[in-house]
Amino acid sequence: MSNTVEGNVALVTGASSGIGQATALALSKAGYRVAVGARRADRLRALTQDAPGEMLALDLDVTDRRSVQDAVSATVKRFGALDVLVNNAGVMLNGPILNADLTQWTRMVETNLLGSMYAVHASLPHLLESKGAVVQVSSTSGRTASAVSGVYSATKFGINAFSEALRQEVTAQGVRVVVVEPGFVATELTSHNTDPAMQAAAKAMAASMRTLQPEDIASAVLYAITQPEHVAVNEILIRPTDQT
Ligand code: NDP
């Protein structure tokens, strides 16, 4: 990856809302050519229209290996390279372990953990070629587990473990691995949980603090990937000041 950002190519998964959308816009503003993937094509279309630079919208379901491979191939076909993968797509369907709906566990593991691994697998040959970077959007839940977030935390601990192994495998070849661990960010993430108790808890938590905004995480991502090539920012833990 060249030190000049201009024209470098990024692929952002889960770019139809929240952190992914803000990161895609920040990268576009900084001069990256950006491919954005998610399932909600209408949102991606609107994003490409708002983007200051060249942006490619891709239908992407990270739980589908073929879809992930196709998104990476389409990015490289359009832009000729891949310098940065922002592995961001994720869902959080919190709830107690007792009597949990197992389809929600499967969805979290397939999206957050396996989906993110598929994206690394498909992107890595290109990132080795460009000496690029992988940004893994983990969470404070990847460092500390707590009640009702057992499976979500397990996926984020898994991302951190996978990222450290990946780092050891590719750092000598110039590929940098960045784990970003946000605390509470105001996004749609908690709205997908249909359990009224979980929704109420999320609302109460949001009301109790000045939450982070998606742009705060986008700034952290941009900081990490624009350091000189000999500097690897491996981990960024970023919480709202008010979050204990
Ligand atoms: P959002 O719900 O706003 O964004 C989630 C994104 O993931 C959406 O763009 C969604 O797109 C995408 N997504 C979900 N499932 C899939 C799928 N199967 N294939 C492709 N894309 C998918 O929440 P956030 O922006 O908050 O979440 C982004 C990441 O940040 C997640 O990994 C989350 O765990 C992490 N995070 C968030 C925190 C927070 O407090 N908000 C804190 C710590 C980490 P679509 O539905 O269109 O496919």
Please report whether residue 4 resides in a domain.
no
Contact 38, 20 (CB under 8 A): yes
pLDDT recorded at residue 17: 98
For residue 114, which amino acid is it?
Answer: L
Please report whether residue 177 resides in a domain.
yes
Choose the residue to mutate in 91, 108, 157, 180 for probing ligand 1, maximizing ligand atoms within 8 Å of C-beta: 91
pLDDT recorded at residue 24: 98
CA geometry: angle 167, 67, 64, nearest 5 deg: 80
Hey, which residues are catalytic here?
152
CATH number for 157: 3.40.50.720
pLDDT at 1 over 90: no
ipTM value > 0.90: yes
Please report whether residue 149 resides in a domain.
yes
Q: Is 57 in the pocket of ligand 1 (CB under 6 A)?
A: no
Q: Are strands 9-13 and 133-137 parallel, antiparallel or unpaired?
A: unpaired
- pLDDT band at residue 4 using 50, 70 and 90 as cut-offs: confident
Please report whether residue 243 resides in a domain.
no
Structural domain including 220 reads 9-238
Please report whether residue 2 resides in a domain.
no
Choose the residue to mutate in 21, 34, 36, 39 for probing ligand 1, maximizing ligand atoms within 8 Å of C-beta: 39
**Based on the structure, what is the number of domains in the chain?**
1
Q: Is 153 in the pocket of ligand 1 (CB under 6 A)?
A: no
Tell me the pTM. 0.98
